Structure 1
Amino acid sequence: MAANPGNRLCLGEAQATGKSDKIAKKQRRLEEAQQELREARDR
């Protein structure tokens, strides 16, 4: 990903949102896995 010279001020902000986005994705994956586990137990 090339850095946009006009967006230097937003770079740190973008990195922060990128990190929280990754965490959110992991959280979602975890919840999906737990849901699948529950469904498997119910069968």
Structure 2
Amino acid sequence: MPDKPDLAEVSNFDKTKLKKTETQEKNPLPTKETIEQEKQATA
């Protein structure tokens, strides 16, 4: 196996053929208010 990968395919890649997708956050971080409510509920 060569030490360095062959980058010829990467340089020839056509980005215009990719489909546009919208990303969605599956597990958003809690807000400060949510953290404070949980702190008060456990205290």
Q: What TM-score comes out, normalization by structure 2 length?
A: 0.32
More helix per residue: 1 or 2? 1
Q: What TM-score comes out, normalization by structure 1 length?
A: 0.32
